[in-house]
C-alpha cells in the first residue's frame, strides 16, 4: 500500500473559530475543533489543568441560576441527545424559565472539549469518558463531575477488507479522532493487548478527514464513533474488525457522558438540573420515536450542526449500534482509567467521587 503523505495523515488545521457564530442552519454555537498536532497541545493542557476563572474562587457557593450556560458537544450520532435537545429547543426552553442563555459549541473530540472546560471557555460538555477521567485524576478531583450518561456502544475499529484478524494490523496506518480521546485510548489499548502497539501507527485526525483518507486508501483503518463507523462500512467497503462492545462484560461501555465543571455545579445546581432534565427528555424521545422520524431528526440535526450529510442507510445502521440511556455506567470507569495508564495516556488513580447522580430522575437514591 502506498503510504500517505504526512500532510494528509495529520489534520494540522487546528480549526478554531472563536468569537464568530456558526453559520450552518439550525446551529447557534461556535465551531471549536483540535486535531492532529493541535491535539498534543490539548492533551498537555488537559494534564496540567490550567484553572478557569471559576476554579480560582476559594469559596464557591450556590448562586442560583446561571446567566449563561456554555455547552460543548460533537457532531456524532453518539451525541444525539445533545443534538436533539438543541434542535428541538428542549434545553433552551428550560433555561429561558430562569433567564439563562444557552451557547452551544461544537468540538471534534474530547481532549479539546476538556481544554475548553478547564479554561472556563465552556461550563459543561457531552464527551467520551476517557478525557473526563484523565482530567478528574490529574486535578485530584477538582475539575469536573459526570452528572449523567448519554450513550453507550457505537464505537468500532473499521478496517479495509483484506485485514481479517488482529495480527494483520502489524505495519498498518490507523487513525482516531484525537490523541487522548476515548476511541484513541481504546484503539491503543487493543493494540497493546495484542502486542501490536509498536507495530502499527495511530495518527490523530478529525472524523471528516480520516473518512477521506480511508476512502482513498491512505490509511488502513480507524477507531471511530457512530455514524462514522457505519459510514466507512456502508460507503467505503470497510468492515468492523472490532466492535468495542465485544470487549466489555454484557457489551456495555460508555461512549458519551455529560460532564459539568465542578465549580459551575456548586454555584449553579439549578441550571445543571435543567441540563440533566433536557438530556433525559432527549433520550426518552430517541428511545420512543418511530425509526423513520428518528432518522430524519438525526440527519437534520447533524447537518445543522456542521453541514455533515449522512444517507439514510448510514444513520439507520449507526442507530442499531448505539444505546441511549441516562445511566453513566460508572462501574466501567476504573477499567478505563487503567487502560489509559497502560498505554501512557493519563495517570493511574481512582474514579471515586467522579459521578454526581442526584439529578438523574431514574437514579435510585
pLDDT in tens, 49-74: 444 444 434 456 889 999 999 999 99
Cell digits of residue 187: 484503539
Over residues 131-155, mean pLDDT: 96
Strands 30-31 and 155-159: unpaired
- pLDDT of 257 > 90? The answer is yes
What distance in Å separates the CA atoms of residue 123 and residue 353, rounded to the nearest whole number? Answer: 19
CB neighbour burial string for 223-254, b if at least 16 within 10 angstroms, e if fewer: bbbbbbbbbbbbebebebbbbbbeeeeeeebb
The sheet with strand 101-107 has its strands ordered as: 30-31, 101-107, 68-74, 124-127, 254-261, 144-153, 322-324
**What DSSP element (H or E) covers 296?**
helix 291-306
SS3 244: helix
How many other CB atoms are there within 10 angstroms of residue 57's CB atom? Answer: 12
Crossing angle for the helix pair 312-321 and 291-306, nearest 10 degrees?
110
Over residues 85-94, mean pLDDT: 96
Over residues 197-211, mean pLDDT: 94
Please give the CATH topology (third level) of the domain spanning 155-251: D-Maltodextrin-Binding Protein; domain 2 (3.40.190)
Across the strands, what pairs with 201?
173
SS3 358: coil
Residues 6+ apart with CB under 8 A from 284: none
Q: What is the rounded average pLDDT for all residues in the chain?
A: 85
What pLDDT digit, counting tens, does each position of 312-331 carry? 999 999 999 999 999 999 99
What distance in Å separates the CA atoms of residue 315 and residue 227, rounded to the nearest whole number? Answer: 6
- pLDDT of 161 > 50? The answer is yes
Burial class (CB in 10 A: 0-12, 13-18, 19+), 81: buried
Residues 6+ apart with CB under 8 A from 325: 149, 150, 151, 152, 283
Query: What are the residue boundaries of the structural domains of the chain, listed by start?
Result: 9-154+253-342, 155-251
What pLDDT digit, counting tens, does each position of 260-292 carry? 999 999 999 999 999 999 999 999 999 999 999
- pLDDT of 108 > 50? The answer is yes
Is-same-fold flag (9-154+253-342; 155-251)? yes
Over residues 334-339, mean pLDDT: 96
What distance in Å separates the CA atoms of residue 289 and residue 165, rounded to the nearest whole number? Answer: 38
Residues 6+ apart with CB under 8 A from 228: 76, 207, 210, 211, 222
What pLDDT digit, counting tens, does each position of 355-364 carry? 999 999 755 4
pTM score of the predicted model = 0.82
The answer regarding whether domain 9-154+253-342 maps to CATH 3.90.45.10 reads no
SS3 106: strand
What distance in Å separates the CA atoms of residue 250 and residue 316, rounded to the nearest whole number? Answer: 23
Amino acid at each position: 500500500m502506498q503510504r500517505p503523505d504526512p500532510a494528509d495523515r495529520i489534520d494540522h488545521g487546528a480549526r478554531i473559530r472563536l468569537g464568530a457564530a456558526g453559520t450552518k442552519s439550525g446551529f447557534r454555537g461556535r465551531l471549536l475543533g483540535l486535531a492532529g498536532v493541535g491535539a498534543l497541545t490539548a492533551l498537555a493542557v488537559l494534564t496540567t489543568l490550567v484553572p478557569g476563572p471559576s476554579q480560582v474562587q476559594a469559596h464557591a457557593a450556590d448562586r442560583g441560576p446561571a446567566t449563561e450556560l456554555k455547552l460543548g458537544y460533537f457532531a456524532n450520532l453518539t451525541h444525539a441527545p445533545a443534538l436533539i435537545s438543541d434542535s428541538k429547543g428542549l434545553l433552551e426552553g428550560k433555561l429561558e424559565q430562569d433567564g439563562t442563555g444557552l451557547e452551544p459549541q461544537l468540538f471534534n473530540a474530547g481532549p479539546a472539549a476538556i481544554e475548553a472546560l478547564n479554561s472556563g471557555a465552556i461550563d459543561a460538555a457531552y464527551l467520551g469518558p476517557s478525557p473526563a477521567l484523565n482530567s478528574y485524576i490529574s486535578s485530584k478531583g477538582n475539575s469536573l463531575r459526570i452528572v449523567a450518561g448519554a450513550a453507550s456502544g457505537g464505537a468500532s475499529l473499521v478496517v479495509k477488507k483484506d485485514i481479517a484478524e488482529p495480527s494483520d494490523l502489524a505495519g498498518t496506518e490507523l487513525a482516531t479522532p484525537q490523541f487522548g480521546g476515548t476511541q484513541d485510548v481504546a484503539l491503543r489499548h487493543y493494540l497493546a493487548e495484542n502486542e501490536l502497539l509498536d507495530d502499527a501507527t495511530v495518527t490523530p485526525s478529525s472524523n471528516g478527514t480520516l473518512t477521506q483518507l480511508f476512502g482513498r486508501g491512505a490509511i488502513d483503518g480507524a477507531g471511530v464513533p457512530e455514524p462514522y463507523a457505519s459510514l466507512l462500512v456502508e460507503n467505503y467497503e470497510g468492515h468492523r474488525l472490532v466492535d468495542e462492545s465485544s470487549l466489555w462484560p454484557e457489551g456495555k461501555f460508555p461512549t458519551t457522558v455529560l460532564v459539568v465543571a465542578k465549580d459551575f455545579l456548586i454555584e449553579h445546581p439549578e441550571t445543571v438540573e435543567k441540563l440533566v432534565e433536557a438530556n433525559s427528555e432527549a433520550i426518552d424521545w430517541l428511545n420512543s420515536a418511530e425509526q423513520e422520524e428518528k432518522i430524519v431528526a438525526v440527519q437534520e440535526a447533524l447537518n445543522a450542526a456542521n453541514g455533515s450529510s449522512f444517507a439514510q442507510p448510514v444513520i439507520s445502521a449507526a442507530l442499531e449500534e448505539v444505546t441511549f440511556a441516562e445511566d453513566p455506567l460508572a462501574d466501567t470507569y476504573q477499567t478505563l482509567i487503567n487502560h489509559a495508564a497502560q498505554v501512557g495516556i493519563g495517570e493511574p488513580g481512582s474514579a471515586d467521587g467522579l459521578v454526581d447522580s442526584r439529578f438523574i430522575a431514574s437514579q435510585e437514591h
